Structure formats: C-alpha cells, structure tokens
Amino acid sequence: MLKLVNLTKQYGDKIAVNRLSLTLQPGVVTGFLGPNGSGKSTTMKMIISLVHPTAGEVIIDGKRYHELTEPTKNIGTLIDPSAINHNLTARQHLALISTAANMDTSRINQMLDMTGLKMVENKKVKSYSLGMKQRLGVATALMSDPDVVILDEPFNGLDVDGIKWLRGLFKQLANSGKTVIVSSHLMGEIQAVADRVVIIGQGKLLADMTMKEMNQKSLSTYVYVETNHLKKMKKLLQDNLANVQELEKGLEVRNLTAKEVGILAYKHQLTLFELKTVQPTLEELFTEITAGKVDYVSRGDEIT
Amino acid sequence: MMHIIKADFKKISYLQGYRNVLLATAVLSILFGMTFLFTTNVTTGKSLSDLSWIEIMDITLLGIDVTTIMFIIFTAYFIANEFASGTIYTSLAITPLRQKYFLCKLLFIAKISILSSIILTCALIFIAYVMITMNNIDGMIWNSALMIKLFGVIIMPMFYSLLSLAGTFYTQTASGGIAFALAVMFTPALIKMFPANVSDVILPIFPEHALHVFTEIHSSVDTGLWLNASVILLLWIAITSILSYWRFNKSDF
C-alpha cells in the first residue's frame, strides 16, 4: 500500500504540493489529474525520492522509498520517456537497468515482446519516436515486476494501437493486484482506464473519488427536460425547490431526479418530449473542479 | 553496490563515445610520452644518449599528464551525462540512497582511472626502458625510490578525476567539473608568480606539491614528508567529495 501523508513541497514562495494526503490501494488504476503546474509530477517524484518533501512523507509498505532494500521491486516508474541515453539501444538500456538493479535478465526479452519493441531492440533510442520511447519507458518501469506502477503522462505520443495496448495493460496490471497510478491530460483516456480519479490543483487535493462516485455524486449531474409548456414546467419545478436554468429548447434541472420530474409532469398533465439525466464527462468535471485553480491560462485572443 | 559499478563498466562497453575517449587517452598519452622523449634536443638541449636513465623515465612519464587531463574530461562527461540526459531519474529510482549512488560513482571512477593509469604507466615505462637499453645507458635500478615515484605517477590521474567528479556533482555540469579540476591543477603555476614568502606558504596546501613529493626521486626515505603529502591529498578528496555530496543530496530532480 502506498500512502501519502501531508505531503508538501515548497519552492521559495510557491507551494507546489500542499498537504496532500492519499492512500493508493492495490488492484486499482488511479487517474491523477491536474492542470499544468498543479504538482502532479512533483508528487510522483516525491514518491520515489527524486524530490525531497518540505514536509510530510510517503510510506510504501510501512517504509520510505529510500529505506526499501530493493526499491524497484516495490515501485516502477516512468517519469520522462526521453530520460534515456539516446545512444543506447532498447536492449542495452534494459540490460543496464537489470544489471544495476540486479534483476533477472530474462525479463528483458519479456518486456521487449510485451511493449512491441522486439523489432527495433537493436536500434538506437535516438531513432525512436516519442511513442516508442514511451513504450521503452513502460518496459523500464515494469522490468522488476513492481507492486506499484507510476506513469507520468504515458499516453503522450502514442498512436491508436499504443493507446489501446496501454489501456489493456493498465487493466491487466490492476487485475493482477498491482497499484497503478497514471497521470494524464487526456481526460478521455483516464476516463477509459481509471477506477479512481484524484484531481489536484495548485498543489491541493480537489477531488478523490471512484469513477462510480463521480458519475453519481457529481455536482454537474442534472436532469434535462423538454416539454410543451416550458414556463409552466419551470414554475412547477421551482415550487418544488429545484434549481432550474432555461436552455434553448428545454430546462436544466438540479436538486430533483428524472423520476421526480416525470411524476410532477404527469400529475400536472404536461407532455414531455425529452427527459434524461445528464452526467458530465471527466473533462467537464475537471474544468469545473479546477476552475480558478489553474496557474497557466491562455487568453484565447485571436492572432491577427 | 557492485552491481551499479558493473553497470557503469557495461555502459562503457555499450557506448562508443566513452570507448573513443578511453582509446584517445591511451593513444595520446603514449604519443605525447614519445614526443617528449624524442624532442629532448629542443626541450633540454641534450640528446637522449646524454640523459641519465632517471631523466628518460621522467620525460616519458610526462605522458601520464595527458592521461590525467583526458580523465578529467572523461569523468566530467560520464557523470554530467546522467544529469543532462535525465537518466538520473532511473539511476536514483534504482539507488535512492544518494550516498550509495555517490560512492558507487566515486569507486567506479577510482577503479577505471587507476586501472588505465597502471596500464599506461607500464606502457610508458616499457618505452623508456627500450630507449635506455638502445642508448646503452647504465645504472637503472628498481629501488624503492623509483617505486614511490611510480606510485605518485599512477595515482595522479585518479586524484584529478576524483576532483573532476566532485566538481561535476557540485555543479551538475561537465564544464563545472572540468573547470574545477583544471583550476586546482594549474593554480599553483599562478601562485609561483607571487613572491617566495607568499607562494611558499600557499603552495604546500595544493595537491600539485603533494603529488611532486611522490613523483620526484628522493635520495633518502622521508616518511614524514610522504605522510604529510598523503594527508594533503586525502583531505582534498575528502573535503571536495563531502561538499559535492552535500550539494547533490539536497538537490531535487
């Protein structure tokens, strides 16, 4: 089990990570979301002692990372796919990792096969595309068959086949009881693979929920209704303490369920054209939660 | 710890750039040693046959100065490449104990530099020996004074490589490591320009002076002098290593 306790990192006046506490369970894919500069990478680096926390700690099976006797057996990481000596081949890179960490060299072939790099194993990394480097980074992270797998933006640069492969791999790793932590800006990908979502903004924990909870409890969930008497329906709903917003053709209703709206319409003999519960996408939720907590915002002005 | 050092040796066998630097070190050291030997007419005004065996040995072993400079460069690039390429992420993920990582690099550099130094010193001695024999120069004896000289010659590349390592870890750049080691190596030349009462006080604290205690042939055994020189060299390594480790340990990557 991986536990983050009041994890804090401060660079001068800027607090990159602010008292972050989380417990990451095995068998679960956790999506780690946050805008640029929100502290995702810093948190990941603090887990493996690349960055020293200003306060708080990371506990892995009761120990800190640097106290582990064979740390790579506990945690496998992909922090930066380009952080490889580009004059090495994929095979040589993995051979160096296995020698330094005293791992079984038979895993090299397994990893090359699994990541689809077997065909280019003897080509220098400098000739690889970003997607191929990502695959090599994943191979490096999984070399020692670790209990916890941490991958920072692993979908970047991957083609459709690569994304599909990675999705399957995450599910497979979680099913085999591993703790999988994936950060990404690609909300759709996180939505497709994650069982749990952690959102941070300006270093603070903004949301920590399962995908199921997100779908059920989200503030953004509303009921959309279209009827023949929009004004009458609106008044009726407001009388029943609903929060109603008029849209072009229908109403956006909060605080009441679709069932309750349907019963009200039936009782007052209103014809419904459409009645549905609208659940936000992860992207919409992310935008809503991180509103005002984004460090870098583009102005969106047109270039003339 | 041995696995990490083994991986570094493996890295040299995999990467042509490192192999080329080591090959260039060997070629240049021998080439310069021979050049110094065959230009004594110009540099000392004497032909080879007029020189004593110890002078021939001294001149040939100047090739090790080239080894030293090449190893300063090799060490700086070898260490700095980890920081520049970002492979430090993987290295520290494997070895999160930074003192262990630092010590492994220090031992690796010490090993490879001393090994190369021994091989090249033997090669240069062989060249000097051939010249001594060809010119029928008598009197060569393998005494303890010569052995101590050879010890001093062999440790010189390792010593400056470790200074380069310290400088590189401190600045996390190759240029920083090279500049630091070369500054320590050449500053005594500047100090010698000062009045004797100033330079006589400052020079003994520089490693060049301590290394010369070993590399010069002494007529009598002076254990105190050698001990003093050893302490100076060890202090330089210890202080620079501690400072660079301290800086490295508090760095975030």
Q: State the Cα torsion B157-B158-B161-B163 to the nearest 10°.
A: -110
Spatial distance between the Cα atoms of A17 and B61, rounded to a whole number of angstroms: 57
Query: In this predicted structure, what is the pLDDT of residue A162?
Result: 87
Report the number of distinct structural domains present in chain B: 1
Q: ipTM value, please give it.
A: 0.85
Q: Which residues of chain A are within 8 Å of residue B4 when distances are taken between CB atoms? A: 100
In percent, the amount of chain A with pLDDT more than 90 equals: 57
Q: Which residues of chain B are within 8 Å of residue A100 when distances are taken between CB atoms? A: 3-4, 6-7, 91, 94-95
Widest distance between CA atoms in chain A: 76
Q: Select from B134, B127, B154, B144 the least CA-distant residue to B59.
A: B127
Q: Which residues of chain B are within 8 Å of residue A51 when distances are taken between CB atoms? A: 252-253
Whether chain B has a CB inside 8 Å of the CB on A77: the answer is yes
Q: Select from B191, B184, B240 the least CA-distant residue to B207.
A: B184
Whether chain A has a CB inside 8 Å of the CB on B253: the answer is yes
- Report the range of poorest mean pLDDT among A165-174, A210-219, A237-246, B69-78: A210-219
Mean pLDDT rounded to a whole number for chain B: 92
Q: Phi and psi at residue A280, in whole multiples of 5°?
A: -75, 155
Query: Out of B14, B17, B89, whose CB is closest to A92?
Result: B14
Spatial distance between the Cα atoms of A141 and A18, rounded to a whole number of angstroms: 27
Q: Between vectors from CA A123 to CA A119 and to CA A124, what angle results, nearest 5°?
A: 145
Spatial distance between the Cα atoms of B71 and B86, rounded to a whole number of angstroms: 23
Q: What CATH architecture does domain A222-278 belong to?
A: 2-Layer Sandwich (3.30)
- Report the range of poorest mean pLDDT among A25-39, A156-170, A185-199: A185-199
Q: Select from A161, A134, A144 the least CA-distant residue to A108.
A: A144
Query: CA A132 → CA A120, A124, A158, distances in Å?
Result: 9, 11, 8
Spatial distance between the Cα atoms of A210 and B33, rounded to a whole number of angstroms: 71
Query: In this predicted structure, what is the pLDDT of residue B198?
Result: 87
What angle, 0 to 180 degrees and rounded to 10, lies between the N-to-C axes of helices B144-171 and B98-134?
140
Q: Which of residues 17-46 of A touch B (CB under 8 A)?
A: 45
Give the residues across from A196 on adjacent strands.
A30, A210
- Give the number of beta-carbon pairs within 8 Å between A and B: 77
Query: In this predicted structure, what is the pLDDT of residue A147?
Result: 93
Spatial distance between the Cα atoms of A236 and A240, rounded to a whole number of angstroms: 6
Spatial distance between the Cα atoms of B56 and B76, rounded to a whole number of angstroms: 32
Query: In this predicted structure, what is the pLDDT of residue B75?
Result: 97
Does the distance separating the beta carbons of A77 and B93 come in below 8 Å?
A: yes
Domains of chain A, residue spans: 2-214, 222-278
Q: Select from A192, A187, A188 the least CA-distant residue to A169.
A: A192
pLDDT interval class at A1 (50, 70, 90): confident
Query: In this predicted structure, what is the pLDDT of residue B218?
Result: 67
Q: Scanning the structure block, which residue is given the tokens 């099976």?
A: A61
Q: Which residues of chain B have pLDDT under 50?
A: none
Does the distance separating the beta carbons of A96 and B10 come in below 8 Å?
A: yes
pLDDT digits (tens, 9 = 90+) for B29-85: 999 999 999 898 888 888 888 888 888 999 999 999 999 999 999 999 999 999 999
Query: In this predicted structure, what is the pLDDT of residue A287?
Result: 72
B147 by Cβ neighbours in 10 Å (0-12 / 13-18 / 19+) ranks as exposed
Query: Out of B16, B86, B90, whose CB is closest to A97?
Result: B90
Does the distance separating the beta carbons of A71 and B85 come in below 8 Å?
A: no
Q: Select from A197, A144, A141 the least CA-distant residue to A166.
A: A141
Q: Between vectors from CA A223 to CA A217 and to CA A227, what angle results, nearest 5°?
A: 175
Can you tell me the mean pLDDT for A50-63? Answer: 93
Spatial distance between the Cα atoms of B161 and B157, rounded to a whole number of angstroms: 6
A196, A253 Cβ separation under 8 angstroms? no
Q: Is A217 a residue whose pLDDT tops 60?
A: no
Amino acid identity of residue A214, one-letter, is: M
Spatial distance between the Cα atoms of B44 and B56, rounded to a whole number of angstroms: 11
pLDDT interval class at A293 (50, 70, 90): low
Whether chain A has a CB inside 8 Å of the CB on B6: the answer is yes
SS3 for B62? coil
Q: Select from B182, B158, B157, B181 the least CA-distant residue to B169.
A: B181
Q: Is A266 a residue whose pLDDT tops 80?
A: yes
Name the residue in chain B with its Cα closest to that of A137: B90
Q: Is A283 a residue whose pLDDT tops 80?
A: no
Domain interval for residue B221: 2-249
Does the distance separating the beta carbons of A100 and B4 come in below 8 Å?
A: yes
In percent, the amount of chain B with pLDDT more than 90 equals: 68
Mean pLDDT rounded to a whole number for chain A: 88
What angle, 0 to 180 degrees and rounded to 10, lies between the N-to-C axes of helices B16-38 and B98-134?
30
Count Cα neighbours of A97 within 13 Å in the Cβ-side half-sphere: 34
Q: Is A296 a residue whose pLDDT tops 70?
A: no
Does the distance separating the beta carbons of B250 and A68 come in below 8 Å?
A: no
Whether chain A has a CB inside 8 Å of the CB on B90: the answer is yes
Q: Which of A8, A46, A49, A151 has the most B C-beta neighbours within 10 Å, making it the best mutation to test the interface with B? A: A49
The string of DSSP codes covering chain A is -EEEEEEEEEETTEEEEEEEEEEE-TT-EEEEE--TTSSHHHHHHHHTTSS--SEEEEEETTB-GGG-SSHHHHEEEES-TT-S-TTSBHHHHHHHHHHHTT--THHHHHHHHHHT-GGGTTSBGGG--HHHHHHHHHHHHHTT--SEEEEESTTTT--HHHHHHHHHHHHHHHHTT-EEEEE-S-HHHHHHH-SEEEEEETTEEEEEEEHHHHHHH-TT-EEEEEES-HHHHHHHHHHTT-EEEE-SSSEEEESS-HHHHHHHHHHTTPPEEEEEEE---HHHHHHHHTTT--S-----PPP-
Pair of tokens at residue A40 = 């995702």
pLDDT interval class at A215 (50, 70, 90): low
Query: In this predicted structure, what is the pLDDT of residue A193?
Result: 87
Name the residue in chain B with its Cα closest to that of A83: B86
Query: Out of B3, B10, B17, whose CB is closest to A87?
Result: B17
Name the residue in chain A with its Cα closest to that of B93: A48
Q: Is A85 a residue whose pLDDT tops 60?
A: yes
Say if domain A2-214 classifies as CATH 3.40.50.300. Answer: yes
